[in-house]
Amino acid sequence: MSLASLLTSEQIVPEMKAAERWPAIVELIDLLVGLRKIDPACRDTILAALKQREETMSTGIGFGIAIPHASSDSVTEVVAAFGRSSHGIEFDALDNAPVRFVVLFIVPKNQFQTHLRTLASIAKFLNDRSVRERLAGAQTKEEILRIFEQGAPK
């Protein structure tokens, strides 16, 4: 499942306010709640699932990328948001480097294969240095979304 199929420009934050992991996750969840992609009544339950996942191991995978994710019976389809930080977010990443790109997604419970495929697709896409460079240089939400739609160079 590609990021382009999961995101609209409304689900993109071109410059995140957060400087640390948990506030960054909350910032993206609150965006999704505000857009009604997540029921406000389910916000805290989903945040708890994300926190539990982060406590197992940071989803900061290196190269300035974090992919916080969880499964929840509060969503019926995969819901995602993307945030970018030019200053970097302290995320306790595997390489100890600040995170510049955060892709948060929630998958319906019992859709384990979808969860794995989504995670793998996002990680593979963002692992491409040229994609990260283009994302870093994008000026608008729409430009960021176009990069996701174009995909990684072949």
Q: What letters, b where the CB count within 10 A reaches 16 and e where it falls short, cover 107-127?
A: bbeebeeebeebbeebeebbe
Residue 153 lies in a domain: no
The rounded mean pLDDT for the chain is 94
E-strand stretches of the chain: 12-13, 60-62, 65-66, 69-72, 79-89, 99-108
Q: How many domains does the structure of the chain reveal?
A: 1
Which residues form the catalytic set? 69
pTM as predicted:
0.94
pLDDT exceeds cutoff 70 at 152: no
User: What integer pLDDT is reported at residue 151 of this predicted model?
Assistant: 78
CA distance 38 to 46: 9
Q: Which residue do the tokens 């819901």 mark?
A: 79
Residue 154 lies in a domain: no
Residues 38-66: what's their mean pLDDT? 95
Residues 54-81: what's their mean pLDDT? 94
For 40, the domain range is 3-148
The CATH number given to whatever domain includes residue 128 is 3.40.930.10
Residue 45 lies in a domain: yes
Longest pairwise C-alpha distance within the chain: 42
